[in-house]
Amino acid sequence: MSTSHAQRLNERLQTRRARIGVIGLGYVGLPLAVEFARSGLSVIGFDLDARKVTEVQAGRSYIPDVATEDVARLRAAGLLEATTDFSLVSTLDTVNICVPTPLRKTKDPDLSYIVSAVESIAPRLKPGMLIVLESTTYPGTTQEVLQPILERDGLRAGVDFFLAFSPERVDPGNVTFSTRNVPKVVGGLTPICTAMARALYSTAIEKVVTVSSPQVAEMVKLLENTFRAVNIGLVNEIALMCDTLGIDVWEVVEAAKTKPFGYMPFYPGPGLGGHCIPIDPFYLSWKAKQSGFESRFIELAGCVNASMPHAVVTKITDALNTQQKAVNGAHVLIAGIAYKKDIDDVRESPSIDVMGLLHAKGARVSYTDPHVPRLAGDHWAGRTDLTSLELTPAALATVDCVAILTDHRALDYDALLTAPLVVDTRNAVRRPHPNLFRLGAPSSHAEEMVELAEV
């Protein structure tokens, strides 16, 4: 039976008559839906957020990496639509699940979004349908969570329908690598499930890499992001060490990366942010604990990275002390609150943590970010709505210290340097200045640089 289902689905994909569904129209789902539609497939995007649905239906993009022109063109061609009506799942040939997988406060995986999505699919599942989970999760989720729900009414995965996992590999703001040209890893429940998932992605993605099972594909994603988290934790610890030893960590990294083998540069910063790197290692360590394995290395890196906002506040405190100012009552301007440069996403941003810590110490906190015009009060510990400060001379005259936490290219660093103090956690200001203090470099280093430049 699975062979005939596979032949029919493959034929519909190849002739572009298949109907594709994408559940979750965020940073992962919308770019994926657009790529499928661009390849000539008819795509329906599902989301509970009526605002997103309205924007897509109007031919507009709310994701920086997706051009509004593309959405408008695909809408006009009848290849892309969005809806909150999950009953339309019954009309589909394939469904990709691209919903969030956050952590609970106890650092346990929160699969409620995945379960909700699968529960909406299960009563509408039909023979020959392909279901692919893309949401990052722990190894075993596809078989332990999705399969039992989908098989509840008698259809069997690998026989009556196809089930696979394919980790998302989105890097917001990356102008070189997009959904289309990043290789897609796919692991199906059975070989024919893998083949069907490969057939789906091959319609829109340049290269598809198959692995032997969903568990391997799930582990691939966790390895990729744990690799980054551990190496960032290492360089963050080196930065704190350099601070103590009076060495410039940025100079160290620049020199080290000239080695053409055996080294890959990572850079320190105020902490980890985004929807993947701060979260995924905890999915892995949580799953390991279920098997009695203690992932000490991963958790240690997590502790180092989580401590970085506190180290930044200490650096700001030390900078203020050089001018006989206290944190309590000081006006600290945070430059950049997105979790990485040149995007508008503040999820898990260390800037938000730094703002909260400063607020708790009595500082008056404001921010400037060309990509985030407003910050709602429920997004940070201050509980007050904030708007991005325009970098006028009058506004900067009220600031005691500027903390550069996200190195957006659009920030006016010359204007920021007119502040009495600047704490740079990203090495964004690459020239000597008497008011400059940098993470990973001794506090007196800026003054020494000026003296050397004048010799």
Count CB atoms within 10 A of the CB of residue 126. 14
Is residue 97 pLDDT above 80, yes or no? Answer: yes
Label residue 444 by pLDDT band (50, 70, 90). low
pLDDT on residue 432: 87
184-188 and 208-211: which strand pairing?
parallel
Label residue 61 by pLDDT band (50, 70, 90). very high
Instruction: State the chain's mean pLDDT as an integer.
Output: 94
Sign of the alpha-carbon dihedral angle for 46, 49, 52, 55? positive
Report the alpha-carbon distance of residue 204 to residue 115 in Å, rounded. 27
- Are 2-212 and 213-455 in the same CATH fold? yes
Q: What is the pLDDT of residues 140-170, one digit of tens each?
A: 999 999 999 999 999 999 999 999 999 999 8
Count CB atoms within 10 A of the CB of residue 285. 21
> Domain 2-212, what architecture?
3-Layer(aba) Sandwich (3.40)
pLDDT on residue 1: 58
> Residue 426: which of 451, 396, 397, 402 has the closest Cα?
402
Q: What is the pLDDT of residues 408-443, one digit of tens each?
A: 999 999 999 999 999 999 999 988 899 999 999 976
Tokens 């729900």 — which residue? Answer: 149
Label residue 454 by pLDDT band (50, 70, 90). very low
pLDDT on residue 274: 80
Burial class (CB in 10 A: 0-12, 13-18, 19+), 192: middle
**Token pair recorded at residue 193:** 């499930």
Span 272-291, mean pLDDT?
A: 83
First to last CA, the chain: 82
Sign of the alpha-carbon dihedral angle for 217, 222, 228, 234? negative
pLDDT on residue 452: 43
Q: How many CA atoms lie within 13 Å of 388's alpha carbon, on the beta-carbon side?
A: 15
Run of H or E including 446: helix 445-454
Span 21-37, mean pLDDT?
A: 97
> Residue 97: which of 32, 189, 185, 53 has the closest Cα?
32
Q: What is the pLDDT of residues 327-370, one digit of tens each?
A: 999 999 999 999 999 999 999 999 999 999 999 999 999 999 99
What is the CATH number assigned to the segment(s) 213-455?
Answer: 3.40.50.720
Report the alpha-carbon distance of residue 397 to residue 11 in Å, rounded. 67
Count CB atoms within 10 A of the CB of residue 131. 29
Is residue 100 pLDDT above 80, yes or no? Answer: yes
Report the alpha-carbon distance of residue 188 to residue 205 in Å, rounded. 17
Domain ranges of the chain: 2-212, 213-455
Q: What is the pLDDT of residues 44-56, one digit of tens each?
A: 999 999 999 999 9
DSSP string for residues in 129-196 = -EEEE-S---TTHIIIIIHHHHTTTS--BTTTBEEEE------TT-SS--TTTSPEEEEESSHHHHHH
**Token pair recorded at residue 44:** 């329906």
Report the alpha-carbon distance of residue 20 to residue 74 in Å, rounded. 14
In degrees and rounded to multiples of 5, residue 367 shows phi and psi of -145, 160
Q: What is the pLDDT of residues 112-129, one digit of tens each?
A: 999 999 999 999 999 999
User: Does residue 97 contact residue 130 with C-beta atoms inside 8 Å?
Assistant: no
Determine the Cα angle at 270 with ends 101 and 310, to 5°. 100
User: Does residue 94 contact residue 130 with C-beta atoms inside 8 Å?
Assistant: yes
> Residue 37: which of 72, 6, 9, 8 has the closest Cα?
72
User: Does residue 64 contact residue 212 with C-beta atoms inside 8 Å?
Assistant: no
Report the alpha-carbon distance of residue 386 to residue 53 in Å, rounded. 27
Strands (E), 278-379: 331-335, 364-368, 374-375
> Residue 428: which of 311, 268, 252 has the closest Cα?
268
> Residue 271: which of 318, 235, 221 has the closest Cα?
235
Is residue 299 pLDDT above 50, yes or no? Answer: yes
Run of H or E including 359: helix 350-360
**Token pair recorded at residue 113:** 């979004």
Label residue 194 by pLDDT band (50, 70, 90). very high
Assess whether 193 carries a catalytic annotation: no
Report DSSP state, residue 91: G
Residue tagged active-site, from 98, 242, 276, 401:
276
Report the alpha-carbon distance of residue 349 to residue 371 in Å, rounded. 14
Determine the Cα angle at 81 with ends 112 and 343, to 5°. 65
